[in-house]
């Protein structure tokens, strides 16, 4: 998952972009980038690392302009090397920078068309570079020296016809303004907000509404599936539906894990959705184990805290923070390799022994994906002297790959793939395991927005809503991105002879 932001303001927007990216850091820890435009000149800084490490004051001084975009990256295509950090840039037409959250499912075929029919060169394995070139080509075809909002929307209509998958996008068109659009299913989130001041209205588009809060912007609405926004350099706002068929089908995993609880997406408070997940999970536990002997409920920080509280409250059992999180370690699930993930769980979480010793403990997590976290935490609970260790997941078993922007490419790496619940329970070393029902997970989110009748839920069901994902595609994704191959790609990309971004700064040192 990546995080996006785009702003059209009245003065330099670099600091607002930076603050927004820090609020979106949980969506991508691999690389960060900001691109701004002033008097037709584009400036950018992007590199591997966290937001606080990538941008120094000397970069901020150069990132001038009242229009800009920003990105934090969690790779789902190509390596995690610096050449694939976003935004991407193309010089023709106009000079366009683009950042993307999601994943295209027909990248290979579109890349081939770009080369053979559109005569465009793509220099990396990034699906985002492909997406940018499709947008640029469709704009170029219109042959306008000065594009109107309608021209931009026309180009986006053609982008929707050519690409498949999940994509929320922000783009900067030099001298003209900010563009934002969302795929026809609205798989990845995108929200629009405003700040009214004595200078007029400033506009912001972002992955999550928390990016508005830090900057004092008000959430106005979600960008609709298939819809595009264009905000000109001088703040004129245009919006148009650009897809022929649309149906809001947002990713349910945002509500389980990815989004911050203080965000509101597609009209749903993520916090309330997680509270309801906890209520529903407690009800299932009470049904299945009316005479349970749980002494204490302990959440696995961070993401399961909210659901965990409701599980405890509704079961009438004590809630205790028995695991302390090291605040300087990031999210483990979105780290690129299994070795790094495994090590991070131990660095990140530490048990308070007295909450475990001699007790029957119910550990609650939001999800079990590869099983890295729960296996280690269950062992920690035993080492701390727990009597019985039960485990509850606030989402159903994750059995199938994700192809729309979450890096779960390989079914074989998922602990629940081809295993029964009993086998999973044994594998993770728990005394008992319970999963949320899919209907209950749905209800927890739908109660926040009754207009949504379906979520993108393929990791639980294997049903891919874009209709183009077949076994051959899943096999090729697995081959390209399983942990072993990915680590090789990442070694290759860190080689000093590896391709570096053509428009990158040569100096990415962190001093100054």
Ligand X SMILES: O=P(O)(O)OC[C@H]1O[C@H](OP(=O)(O)OP(=O)(O)O)[C@H](O)[C@@H]1O
Known catalytic membership, residue 2: yes
Applying CB under 6 A, among 36, 48, 101, 202 the residue interacting with ligand GLN is 101
Minimum gap (Å) between residue 375 Cβ and ligand X: 8
* CB distance 306 to 271 below 8 Å: yes
Q: Which does 76 bind (CB under 5 to 8 A by kind): ligand GLN, Mg ion, ligand X, none?
A: ligand GLN
What's the CA gap between 285 and 454, in Å, rounded? 25
Q: What are phi and psi of 55, to 5 degrees?
A: -110, 125
- Please say which residue, 63 or 394, places its beta carbon nearer to ligand X: 394
- Please say which residue, 26 or 120, places its beta carbon nearer to ligand X: 26
Q: Which residues of 307-332 are buried (b: 16+ CB within 10 A; e: fewer)?
A: bbbbbbebbebebbebbeeeeeeebb
What's the CA gap between 331 and 340, in Å, rounded? 11
Applying CB under 6 A, among 44, 45, 103, 232 the residue interacting with ligand GLN is 103
- Please say which residue, 67 or 351, places its beta carbon nearer to ligand X: 351
Please tell me whether 303 is known to bind a ligand. Answer: yes
* CB distance 275 to 268 below 8 Å: no
What's the CA gap between 403 and 166, in Å, rounded? 8
| Residues 6 or more apart in contact with residue 507 via CB below 8 angstroms | none
Applying CB under 6 A, among 103, 202, 213, 303 the residue interacting with ligand X is 303
Residue 60 has which token pair? 């901020």
Q: Which residues of 53-92 are buried (b: 16+ CB within 10 A; e: fewer)?
A: ebbeeebbeebbbbbbbbbbbbbbbbbbbbbbbbbbbbee
Minimum gap (Å) between residue 106 Cβ and ligand GLN: 13
Question: In Å, how far are 80, 142, 226, 242, 463 from 158, measured between CA atoms?
Answer: 29, 11, 11, 9, 26
Applying CB under 5 A, among 140, 202, 303, 493 the residue interacting with Mg ion is 303
- Measured from each CB, the residue nearest to Mg ion is 303
Q: Does 273 bind Mg ion (CB under 5 A)?
A: no
Q: Does 128 bind ligand GLN (CB under 6 A)?
A: yes
What's the CA gap between 392 and 375, in Å, rounded? 13
Q: Does 133 bind Mg ion (CB under 5 A)?
A: no
Name 349's bridge partners.
325
Minimum gap (Å) between residue 55 Cβ and ligand GLN: 19
Q: Does 376 bind Mg ion (CB under 5 A)?
A: no
- Please say which residue, 76 or 367, places its beta carbon nearer to ligand X: 367
Q: Does 332 bind ligand X (CB under 6 A)?
A: yes
Q: Does 368 bind ligand X (CB under 6 A)?
A: yes
Interface region with ligand X, contact rule CB under 6 A, candidates 12-20, 118-126, 138-146, 331-339: 331-339
Please tell me whether 365 is known to bind a ligand. Answer: yes
Interface region with ligand GLN, contact rule CB under 6 A, candidates 11-19, 71-79, 382-390, 440-448: 71-79
244-273 mask for ligand X (x: CB under 6 A)?
-------------x----------------
Helices (H), 370-470: 372-383, 421-428, 438-446, 458-461
Q: Does 76 bind ligand GLN (CB under 6 A)?
A: yes
Minimum gap (Å) between residue 462 Cβ and ligand GLN: 21
Q: Is the dihedral of CA 449, 451, 453, 458 positive or negative?
A: negative
* CB distance 201 to 195 below 8 Å: yes
Question: In Å, how far are 213, 247, 377, 467 from 185, measured between CA atoms?
Answer: 26, 5, 37, 12
Interface region with Mg ion, contact rule CB under 5 A, candidates 196-204, 302-310, 377-385, 461-469: 302-310
* CB distance 227 to 242 below 8 Å: yes
Q: Does 165 bind ligand GLN (CB under 6 A)?
A: no
- Residues near ligand GLN (CB under 6 A) are 1-2, 73-77, 84, 100-103, 126-128, 405
Binding site for ligand X (CB under 6 A): 257, 300-303, 331-334, 365-374
Numbered residues of the known binding site: 303, 365-366
Active site residues: 2
Which residues carry a binding-site annotation for Mg(2+)?
303, 365-366
Interaction site with Mg ion (CB under 5 A): 303
């Amino acid at each position: 998952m990546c995080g996006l932001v785009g702003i059209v303001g009245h003065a330099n927007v670099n600091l607002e972009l930076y603050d927004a990216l820090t609020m979106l850091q949980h969506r991508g820890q691999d690389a960060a980038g900001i691109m701004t435009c002033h008097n037709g000149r584009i400036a950018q800084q992007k590199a591997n690392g966290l937001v606080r490490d990538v941008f120094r004051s000397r970069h901020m001084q150069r990132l001038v302009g009242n229009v800009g975009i920003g990105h934090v990256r969690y790779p789902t295509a190509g390596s995690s090397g610096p050449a694939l950090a976003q935004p991407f840039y193309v010089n023709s037409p106009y000079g366009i920078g683009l950042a993307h959250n999601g994943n295209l499912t027909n990248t290979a075929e579109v890349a081939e068309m770009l080369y053979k029919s559109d005569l465009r060169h793509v220099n990396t394995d990034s699906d985002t570079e492909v997406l940018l070139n499709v947008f640029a080509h469709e704009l170029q075809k219109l042959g306008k020296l000065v594009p109107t909002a309608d021209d931009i929307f026309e180009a986006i209509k053609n982008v929707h016809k050519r690409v498949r998958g999940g994509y929320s996008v922000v783009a900067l068109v030099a001298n003209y303004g900010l563009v934002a659009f969302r795929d026809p299913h609205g798989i990845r989130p995108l929200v629009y907000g405003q700040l009214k001041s004595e200078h007029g209205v400033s506009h912001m588009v972002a992955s999550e509404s928390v990016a508005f809060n830090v900057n004092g912007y008000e959430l106005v609405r979600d960008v609709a599936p298939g819809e595009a926004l264009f905000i000109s350099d001088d703040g004129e706002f245009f919006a148009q539906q650009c897809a022929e068929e649309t149906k809001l089908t947002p990713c349910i995993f945002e509500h389980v894990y990815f989004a911050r609880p203080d965000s509101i997406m597609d009209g749903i408070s993520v916090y309330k959705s997680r509270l309801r997940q906890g209520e529903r999970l407690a009800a299932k536990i009470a049904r299945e184990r009316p005479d349970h002997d749980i002494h204490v409920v302990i959440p696995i920080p961070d993401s399961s805290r909210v659901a965990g509280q409701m599980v405890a409250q509704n079961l009438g059992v004590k809630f205790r923070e028995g695991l302390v999180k090291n605040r300087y370690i990031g999210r483990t699930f979105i780290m690129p390799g299994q070795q790094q993930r495994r090590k991070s769980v131990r660095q990140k979480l530490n048990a308070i022994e007295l909450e475990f010793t001699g007790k029957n403990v119910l550990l609650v997590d939001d999800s079990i994906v590869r099983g890295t976290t729960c296996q280690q935490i269950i062992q920690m609970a035993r080492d701390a002297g727990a009597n019985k260790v039960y485990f509850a997941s606030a989402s159903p078993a994750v059995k199938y790959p994700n192809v729309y922007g979450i890096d779960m490419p390989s079914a074989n790496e998922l602990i629940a793939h081809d295993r029964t619940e009993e086998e999973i329970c044994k594998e993770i070393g728990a005394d008992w395991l319970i999963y949320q029902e899919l209907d209950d997970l749905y209800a927890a989110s739908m109660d926040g927005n009754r207009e949504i009748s379906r979520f993108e839920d393929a990791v639980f069901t294997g049903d891919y809503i874009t209709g183009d994902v077949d076994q051959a595609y899943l096999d090729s994704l697995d081959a390209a991105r399983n942990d072993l191959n990915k680590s090789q790609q990442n070694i290759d990309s860190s080689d000093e002879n590896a391709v570096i971004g053509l428009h990158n700064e040569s100096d990415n040192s962190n001093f100054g």
